Structure 1
Amino acid sequence: MTDFNEIDLDLLKKLSEADGIGGMEREISRIVTTYGEQYSDEIRYDNLGSAILKASGQEDGPKIMLSSHMDEVGFMVRSITDDGYVNLLPVGGWWGHVMPAQEMTITTAEDKKIIGVIGSRAPHGLSEEIKEKVIKPMDLYLDLGIDSREAVESLGVSIGDMITPNVQFREMNDSNYLMGKAWDDRCCIGVGLEVLKNLKAIEHNSTIYFAATTQEEVGIRGARTAVHTIKPDIAIALDVTTATDTPFDNKGMKLGGGVVLSVLDSLTIGNSGMVRMMEEIVKDLNLDVRFDFMTVGGTDACNIHKMLDGVVSMTLSLPTRYMHSPRLIIHKEDYIQTIKLVTEFCRRLDWSSLNQMKAAVGISNL
């Protein structure tokens, strides 16, 4: 097994800083296809906009689907007041505490970027009841620093335009820690592209399809249509999970602790034989491993495993701090180890190992 340690930080920067909520993932799709073109044999799209990159193996080998979603949580322009304030419509799950006083970017239909700030209240004179109350995202607004509806419209802003956090990618004081927006799930878009790059240098029996999917945050939609396009034999959903190593949690899912095998979440139970094969690879590559049991939420695997006549599936996760907020933090070691694990899984998989995974859940007519 070739030792893959080099990662492309410029790719991660571009992925993090690109803007793309559910149904408006075009900026990210362009990055995916531009970067992945040299490492894939074919690029196609489904009708929801998921980009699917193919790395061919043996003609009669299994088809592996890797799935990472392109969309981030964000907002749309819901309405514009006569005084020039922009009312927000959340697209994806937001907690009101993380929003006030944050810079946001409106992307117009002509791809013009307009910067504003979400309004907040000064604490002076507020009652304790008001201070302790979480403002609902629907009650917040964007201040563009202008004073009329006409001025907003003259900038090209329209109802339905995309709004996303205005955040720059940053290596933290320990450069292993990477801060940016949209790590959910752009860091795993990076994983998929890095795996395709690695596979270009090695022989593999299987044909790998990397699906950069759409609309996960609003109902896990793009993964469903991508499955019908690919018709995979087996699939890995790549997504983030919640790090719990801060003073708020202190429960043990640390950044920098290696790969995370998702045994189950609230919407998917990983194939037990597939989990075991991942464990074997972890041991062979001397990687670090944790196990995740996420009782709230799900990933692309939720819809993938239920499509067609069922697809052998599981999720691999990267822990991130401050999920569904404007600024998230991940760790390079988790990213690198996940790339190594997925690359080796794709190299090793053949029909024999896939049939063992099916037998693990009681399928005997093999």
Structure 2
Amino acid sequence: MLNFNEIDLDLLKRLSEADGIGGREREVSRIVTAYGKEYSDEIQYDNLGSVVLKSTGKSKTSGPKIMLSSHMDEVGFMVRSITDDGYVNLLPVGGWWGHVMPAQEMTITTINDEKFIGIVGSRAPHGLSSEIKERVIPPMDLYLDLGMPSRESVEQLGISIGDMITPHVHFREMNDPNYLMGKAWDDRCCVGVGLEVLKNMNQSDYEADIYFAATTQEEVGIRGARTAVHTIKPDVAIALDVTTATDTPFDKKGMALGEGVVLSVLDSLTIGNNGLVQMMEEIVNDLSLDVRFDFMTVGGTDACNIHKMMDGVVSMTLSIPTRYMHSPRLIIHKEDYIQTIKLVTEFCRRLNWDRLNQMKSSVGITMD
């Protein structure tokens, strides 16, 4: 078994601060390939932009293929239109709640990768009626103020329709440094998990071939995972994604930060393979990790499309809880991140054909 507690915070900072909505994940992809190439034997791309890093098993015979999947895209916006007065109208890319947006800083990234900062418009409360004060403004009704006087002046900056817009947020360790604040933890913290696992496996003997897929366009329809499956043709897959922490005063109790790994038994789109869930529980016990179980009745992960591909893929989701999901600033906990890396690393070390056949038999498949 591998023992470690050190994580690369600079990697998390770079992943969080990179800008990348669905279909515009190139900045994130470059970080993934630059960091992961040292720990990979092969790097592939599919035509949607997902990047797949392969670490080949050390045994003489071919082992099962493990697919680890984390999506690179974050929720954000595109430039929908520019008004004559120089305001930028927003088109949401992914799910946004209007309450979390007014007065936030946003970054526009142009086709030439130039970046410009603007402020989401808001209204002063003075004199507003209760009806207006209590109404949530739909994201499509909001706009970005670049501090420019006209459409022409905005266009002269190189800004055009379809340019990417993302929250402008800097990563930081909070007052207790175990709490990490940043944008795009959904799902960049799990991109970090995948890269840390590859690094750890570089120091270990194992039978399986490990493929880490940093996928695209999850927030707009779980698309990149579908094409990445055809690149890899995995035998077993683990989707790595976030889940909603419910430990704030808004929720009072529930899924808390800092209490260990989260095994997703099912969500609205996927039922985890029972044998795979059992193997994860076994490893949790052997490594003395903390564990919670998640039953997410709304939403899904890359596993949604992975498990339905080809003739079916043995799959499940592992989650990291985050506060304030789908907002400009999210918070995760180092302990959850570290324990997830330990669990996935040990799973990759242990998996062989016998264990895979046990998982298949758990759903009634007889292996002769």
Relative to the length of structure 1, the TM-score reads 0.99
Q: Measure how far apart 1:252 and its partner are.
A: 1.8
Q: What one-letter code is carried by the residue in structure 2 that aligns with 1:55? A: S
The unaligned stretches of length 5 or more in structure 1 are none
Which of the numbers 110, 117, 120 marks the counterpart of 1:118? 120
Q: Which residue of 2 aligns with 1:11?
A: 11
Q: Is the 8 A contact 2:357 2:367 kept in 1?
A: no
Which of the numbers 281, 305, 326 marks the counterpart of 1:324? 326
Q: How does 1:265-344 map to 2 (within 5 A)?
A: 265-344=267-346
Q: Which residue of 1 aligns with 2:141?
A: 139
> 1:156 aligned to 2:158?
yes
Which of the numbers 261, 279, 287 marks the counterpart of 1:259? 261
Tell me the distance in 2 between the aligned counterparts of 1:60 and 1:177. Answer: 41
Q: Which residue of 2 aligns with 1:195?
A: 197
Deviations 1:267-293 (A, max 9, x none): 000001100000000000000000000
Tell me the distance in 1 between the aligned counterparts of 2:5 and 2:312. Answer: 35
What's the secondary structure of 1:3's corresponding residue? coil
Tell me the distance in 1 between the aligned counterparts of 2:148 and 2:238. Answer: 47
Tell me the distance in 1 between the aligned counterparts of 2:271 and 2:40. Answer: 30
Q: How does 1:326-365 map to 2 (within 5 A)?
A: 326-365=328-367
Which segments of structure 1 move beyond 3 Å, counting only runs of 4 or more? none
What's the secondary structure of 2:74's corresponding residue? coil
> 1:212 aligned to 2:193?
no
Tell me the distance in 1 between the aligned counterparts of 2:317 and 2:146. Answer: 40
Tell me the distance in 2 between the aligned counterparts of 1:60 and 1:242. Answer: 38
Q: What one-letter code is carried by the residue in structure 2 that aligns with 1:17? A: E
Q: Which residue of 2 aligns with 1:42?
A: 42
Tell me the distance in 2 between the aligned counterparts of 1:216 and 1:251. Answer: 29
Tell me the distance in 2 between the aligned counterparts of 1:251 and 1:229. Answer: 41
Deviations 1:100-143 (A, max 9, x none): 00000000011000000000000011110001100000000000
Tell me the distance in 2 between the aligned counterparts of 1:339 and 1:279. Answer: 15
Q: What one-letter code is carried by the residue in structure 1 that aligns with 2:346? A: E
Tell me the distance in 2 between the aligned counterparts of 1:365 and 1:166. Answer: 52
Deviations 1:342-361 (A, max 9, x none): 00000000000100001001
What's the secondary structure of 1:19's corresponding residue? coil
Q: Measure how far apart 1:251 and its partner are.
A: 2.5
Tell me the distance in 1 between the aligned counterparts of 2:41 and 2:253. Answer: 44
Q: Is the 8 A contact 2:19 2:166 kept in 1?
A: yes
What's the secondary structure of 1:208's corresponding residue? strand
Tell me the distance in 2 between the aligned counterparts of 1:193 and 1:354. Answer: 23
Q: Which residue of 2 aligns with 1:76?
A: 78
Q: What one-letter code is carried by the residue in structure 2 that aligns with 1:54? A: K
Q: What one-letter code is carried by the residue in structure 2 that aligns with 1:264? A: L
Tell me the distance in 2 between the aligned counterparts of 1:245 and 1:68. Answer: 24
Q: Measure how far apart 1:5 and its partner are.
A: 1.0
Tell me the distance in 2 between the aligned counterparts of 1:307 and 1:121. Answer: 48
Tell me the distance in 2 between the aligned counterparts of 1:2 and 1:353. Answer: 19
Which of the numbers 44, 62, 65 marks the counterpart of 2:64? 62
Q: Measure how far apart 1:365 and its partner are.
A: 3.7
Q: Measure how far apart 1:2 and its partner are.
A: 1.9
Tell me the distance in 1 between the aligned counterparts of 2:207 and 2:253. Answer: 40
What's the secondary structure of 2:294's corresponding residue? strand
Which of the numbers 159, 165, 169 marks the counterpart of 2:167? 165
> 1:98 aligned to 2:77?
no
> 1:178 aligned to 2:180?
yes
Tell me the distance in 2 between the aligned counterparts of 1:336 and 1:345. Answer: 14
Q: Which segment is superposed worse, 50-59 or 28-37?
A: 50-59
Q: Which segment is superposed worse, 2-11 or 327-336?
A: 2-11
Tell me the distance in 2 between the aligned counterparts of 1:279 and 1:34. Answer: 33
Q: What one-letter code is carried by the residue in structure 1 that aligns with 2:292? A: R
Tell me the distance in 1 between the aligned counterparts of 2:216 and 2:329. Answer: 21
Q: Tell me the number of residue pairs that the alignment of Structure 1 and Structure 2 aligns.
A: 366
Q: What one-letter code is carried by the residue in structure 2 that aligns with 1:245? A: D
RMSD: 0.5
Q: Measure how far apart 1:364 and its partner are.
A: 1.2
Of all paired residues, the percent bearing the same amino acid is 83
Tell me the distance in 1 between the aligned counterparts of 2:206 and 2:298. Answer: 35
The unaligned stretches of length 5 or more in structure 2 are none
Q: Which residue of 1 aligns with 2:242?
A: 240
Tell me the distance in 1 between the aligned counterparts of 2:322 and 2:205. Answer: 32
Relative to the length of structure 2, the TM-score reads 0.99
Tell me the distance in 2 between the aligned counterparts of 1:178 and 1:260. Answer: 18
Q: Which residue of 1 aligns with 2:25?
A: 25
Q: What one-letter code is carried by the residue in structure 2 that aligns with 1:289? A: V
